[in-house]
């Protein structure tokens, strides 16, 4: 893939709550507007349905399913944007990983995602199931270089609060606070 081609992807199980159907509808809007390829990194029970939807939307030359990968760091390193389209989510550890890799994020506002991705601060968000708004946010993060740099810088600072050391210290502080009650 040529350097001028943007790589936009999602790294998640191909499961109902990850809503790859919205991912593909977003790709359908974006593909005629930008020079990009779209990656799905993961596997799961909906894989054949997603493959059928890719064909149905005539996206076979634009979307590639990489399956489960043991070299996820290489995928993160190659992506230009993480497009995370979940309709239900607890934490979304992939979001923290993307931040650690310096990857700009466009995500839905599902479940716990807004606790991790704060719109206009360390990523861009859109309502669940809204491919039009998701596509607009992807275009923004690709087109507005200053915005992209700010989001990545803030994400890098934010994710440091989730290091092993920081999490251990926060847990210890909770135990100390409880023991003083």
Residues of the chain with pLDDT > 70, as a percent, come to: 97
Burial of 25 (0-12, 13-18, 19+ CB in 10 A): buried
> What predicted TM-score, i.e. pTM, was given to this entire model?
0.90
Say yes or no to pLDDT of 10 above 90: yes
Question: What pLDDT is recorded for position 95?
Answer: 95
Question: What pLDDT is recorded for position 45?
Answer: 96
Give the chain's mean pLDDT: 93
In whole angstroms, give the CA distance from residue 55 to residue 46. Answer: 14
Please compute the mean of the pLDDT values over residues 76-90 and round it to a whole number: 94
Q: Lowest-confidence range among 51-60, 118-127, 169-178?
A: 169-178
**Which strands, in side-by-side order, build the sheet including 81-84?**
63-65, 36-41, 6-11, 81-84, 105-108, 124-126
Say yes or no to pLDDT of 123 above 90: yes
Q: Which tens digits make up the pLDDT trace of 132-147? A: 999 999 999 999 999 9
In whole angstroms, give the CA distance from residue 156 to residue 137. Answer: 20
Residues β-bridged to residue 6: 36
At 160, the pLDDT band (50, 70, 90 cuts) reads: confident
At 107, the pLDDT band (50, 70, 90 cuts) reads: very high
Q: Which tens digits make up the pLDDT trace of 18-44? A: 999 999 999 999 999 999 999 999 999
Please compute the mean of the pLDDT values over residues 85-111 and round it to a whole number: 93
């Amino acid at each position: 893939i040529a350097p001028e081609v943007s790589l936009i992807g999602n790294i998640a199980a191909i499961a109902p709550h990850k809503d790859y159907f919205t991912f593909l509808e977003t790709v359908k809007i974006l593909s005629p507007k930008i020079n990009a390829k779209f990656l799905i990194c993961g596997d799961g029970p909906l894989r054949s349905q997603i493959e059928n939807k890719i064909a149905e939307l005539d996206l076979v030359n634009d979307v590639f399913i990489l399956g489960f990968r043991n070299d996820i760091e290489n995928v993160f390193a190659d992506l230009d944007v993480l497009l995370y389209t979940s309709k239900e989510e607890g934490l979304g550890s992939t979001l923290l990983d993307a931040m650690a890799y310096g990857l700009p994020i466009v995500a839905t506002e599902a479940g716990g995602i807004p606790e991790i991705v704060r719109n206009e601060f360390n990523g861009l968000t859109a309502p669940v199931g809204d491919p039009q708004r998701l596509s607009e946010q992807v275009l923004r993060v690709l087109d507005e270089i200053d915005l992209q740099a700010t989001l990545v810088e803030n994400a890098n600072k934010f994710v440091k609060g989730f290091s092993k050391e920081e999490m251990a210290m926060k847990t210890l502080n909770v135990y100390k606070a409880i023991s003083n009650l």
